[in-house]
């Protein structure tokens, strides 16, 4: 029996330092921690339970699965709005 596995990684949003400073800053999250979250999301294909399990609690604040999801999707929403606005203003 031949089984073909088709793994596709999730396309991750990208933000610049300026976008982070202007739109994504959150007093409860450092930029380093946010970058780490996005690295983990890419590495584990948005499997937040796995991300939470592998979260480096020695270096970063202990976060719940819900905290991780909320931060990730909040950034995605904000980036979508900001980047759409930037495209519209260029037209």
Query: 54 Cβ partners below 8 Å, 6+ apart?
Result: 40, 44
What mean pLDDT do residues 25-38 have?
A: 98
Residue 41 structural domain: 31-90
Considering only the C-alpha atoms of the chain, give the largest distance between any 2 of them, rounded to a whole number of Å: 55
The percent of residues above 90 in pLDDT, for the chain, comes to: 76
DSSP H or E stretch at residue 83:
helix 65-90
Q: What pLDDT digit, counting tens, does each position of 4-29 carry?
A: 655 666 788 999 999 999 999 999 99
In a domain, 52, yes or no: yes
User: Model confidence at 33, in pLDDT bands (50, 70, 90)?
Assistant: very high
* Model pTM score: 0.83
**CATH code for the domain in which residue 41 is found:** 1.10.10.60
What's the total number of domains in the chain? 1
User: Apex CA 26: angle with CA 56 and CA 38, to 5°?
Assistant: 45
87 pLDDT above the threshold of 60: no
Q: Is residue 50 part of a domain?
A: yes
């Amino acid at each position: 029996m031949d089984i073909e596995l088709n793994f596709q990684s999730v396309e991750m949003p990208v933000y610049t330092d300026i976008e982070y400073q202007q739109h994504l800053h959150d007093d409860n999250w450092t930029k380093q921690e946010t970058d780490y979250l996005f690295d983990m999301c890419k590495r584990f294909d948005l499997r937040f339970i796995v991300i939470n399990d592998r979260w480096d609690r020695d270096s970063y604040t202990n976060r719940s699965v819900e905290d991780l999801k909320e931060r990730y999707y909040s950034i995605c929403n904000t980036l979508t709005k900001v980047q759409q606005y930037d495209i519209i203003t260029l037209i």
